[in-house]
């Protein structure tokens, strides 16, 4: 038995009732991209994407080949870890801390003292823009660029010729030790870059995340019951490599991740393959790139049949997201939105409207139900579709 869980990172489907307190009323990532770019997603439409809500160019179908619905986030927050952890069954009552005005001075001083490096930056910024602003100063002084975002992250950027990769990872580990208690940010992230000057600095693939360790969740339950738990994309970092039996590594891009997934399916496994496709969020949502976002969605849709064709009679695939990041909306931050839910399997029922789920954790409950494992995570909808 195989299950494939795909996170279309940031592909929200409309703002949630509590979006106002996040400043996100009116956001609709997929809906607004469709309005502006005129999306063509025939394969996901066949599975029921257009039945989730009314879209301008994504029609509903009378007999969807999959099952469909949308999910609300029960946890506080709208960041990557919160969304993924809730999908795996963990609901956070308190959001991870964020620092829109930079980190407290005592944290920076402690970081400087323990690492031996001075800090420049310490504000919320785009990862590419801050290299243009501070990259040359870093290269000339050796001072580390520290910055954050709308996410609960402490990011450290350094040129690979100034601070080697191993040293940067060591620095991040020290930062992770410092950032505990009230300052327990979701992730410390190493952001190495290269290039000669501000006009050609670029981030390298040697990024590494240092997240908090999650409590036991869907992944741990599967592993403890003898199932394979395979991470693809940045899923391994999001869960601090906990509960996994194998990792396929990070994706160079979405297509790289999808092709790796197909190749791993061909080899066979018994359990879950959990894939995150981060390009939607990182390359397009945060950069307000509507055209790029639309192209990436259509590229995924074209590839989807190739993936589905590799699944056997007893296998299932679930497609969802972890939050929104509406490229048409004000700012460049994540948006508090419902996320889509599409479930397909050769032996599953078809055209079941799963409605609006109260929590992302319903995926964890359903997935474990599928594998015959009892849990208290979410409300399983497996009985509705099997």
Where residue 113 sits, what CATH number does that domain have? 3.30.70.1250
Cα separation, 51 vs 34, in Å, equals: 15
Choose the final residue of a domain: 186, 210, 234. Answer: 210
CB 277 within 8 A of CB 8: yes
132 pLDDT exceeds 90?
yes
In sequence order, the 6+-apart residues with CB closer than 8 A to the CB of 97 are 152, 182, 183, 184, 185
Q: 143 in a domain, yes or no?
A: yes
Asked if 78 and 223 sit in the same domain, the reply is: yes
94 pLDDT exceeds 90?
no
Q: 309 in a domain, yes or no?
A: yes
Q: What angle do CA 133, 165, 183 make, to 5 degrees?
A: 70
Asked if 227 and 136 sit in the same domain, the reply is: no
Asked if 234 and 139 sit in the same domain, the reply is: no
Q: 99 in a domain, yes or no?
A: no
Task: Using a pLDDT cut of 90, give the percent of the chain over it.
Answer: 90
CB 363 within 8 A of CB 385: no
Q: What is the pLDDT of residue 219?
A: 98
**Backbone phi, psi, residue 219, to 5°:** -65, -45
CB 192 within 8 A of CB 165: yes
Q: Write down the pTM of the prediction.
A: 0.90
Q: 189 in a domain, yes or no?
A: yes
pLDDT band of residue 128 (cuts 50, 70, 90) is: confident
Q: Which two tokens stand for residue 25?
A: 């009323």
Asked if 242 and 353 sit in the same domain, the reply is: yes
Q: Which residue segment(s) compose the domain that 200 sits in?
A: 105-210
Q: 100 in a domain, yes or no?
A: no
Q: 98 in a domain, yes or no?
A: no
Write the pLDDT tens digit of every residue in 48-86: 999 999 999 999 999 999 999 999 999 998 989 999 999
Q: 236 in a domain, yes or no?
A: yes
Choose the final residue of a domain: 210, 238, 257. Answer: 210
Asked if 46 and 31 sit in the same domain, the reply is: yes
Question: Domain total for the chain?
Answer: 2
177 strand-pairing partners: none
Asked if 307 and 350 sit in the same domain, the reply is: yes
Q: What is the pLDDT of residue 281?
A: 94
89 pLDDT exceeds 90?
yes
């Amino acid at each position: 038995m195989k299950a494939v869980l795909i996170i279309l990172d940031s592909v929200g489907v409309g703002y949630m009732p509590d979006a106002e307190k996040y400043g996100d009323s009116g956001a609709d990532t997929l809906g607004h991209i469709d309005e502006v770019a005129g999306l063509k997603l025939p394969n996901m439409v066949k599975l029921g994407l257009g039945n989730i809500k009314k879209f301008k160019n994504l029609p509903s179908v009378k007999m969807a080949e999959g099952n469909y619905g949308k999910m609300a986030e029960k946890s506080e927050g709208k960041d990557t870890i919160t969304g993924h952890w809730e999908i795996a069954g963990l609901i956070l009552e308190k959001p991870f801390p964020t620092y829109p005005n930079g980190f407290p001075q005592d944290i920076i001083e402690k970081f400087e003292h323990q690492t031996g490096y001075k800090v420049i930056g310490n504000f919320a910024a785009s990862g590419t823009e801050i290299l243009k602003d501070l990259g040359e100063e870093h290269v000339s002084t050796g001072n580390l660029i520290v910055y954050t975002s709308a996410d609960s992250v402490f990011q450290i950027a350094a040129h690979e010729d100034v601070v080697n990769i191993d040293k940067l990872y060591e620095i991040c580990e020290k930062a992770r030790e410092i950032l505990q208690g009230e300052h327990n940010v979701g992730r410390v992230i190493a952001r190495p870059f290269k290039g000669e000057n501000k006009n050609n600095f670029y981030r390298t693939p040697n990024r590494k995340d240092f997240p908090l360790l999650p409590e036991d969740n869907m992944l741990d339950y599967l592993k403890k019951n003898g199932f394979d738990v395979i991470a693809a994309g940045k899923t391994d970092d999001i869960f601090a490599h906990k509960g996994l039996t194998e990792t396929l590594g990070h994706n160079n891009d979405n297509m790289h991740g999808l092709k790796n997934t197909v190749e791993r399916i061909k080899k066979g496994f018994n359990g879950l393959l959990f894939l995150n496709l981060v390009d939607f969020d990182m390359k397009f949502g945060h950069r307000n790139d509507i055209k790029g976002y639309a192209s990436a969605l259509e590229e995924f849709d074209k590839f989807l049949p190739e993936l589905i064709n590799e699944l056997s009679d007893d296998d299932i695939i679930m497609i969802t997201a972890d939050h929104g990041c509406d490229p048409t909306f004000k700012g460049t931050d994540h948006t508090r939105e419902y996320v889509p839910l599409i479930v397909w399997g050769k032996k599953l029922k078809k055209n079941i409207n799963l409605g609006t789920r109260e929590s992302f954790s319903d995926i964890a409950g359903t997935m474990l139900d599928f594998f015959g494992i009892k849990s208290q995570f979410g409300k399983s909808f497996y009985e509705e579709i099997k």
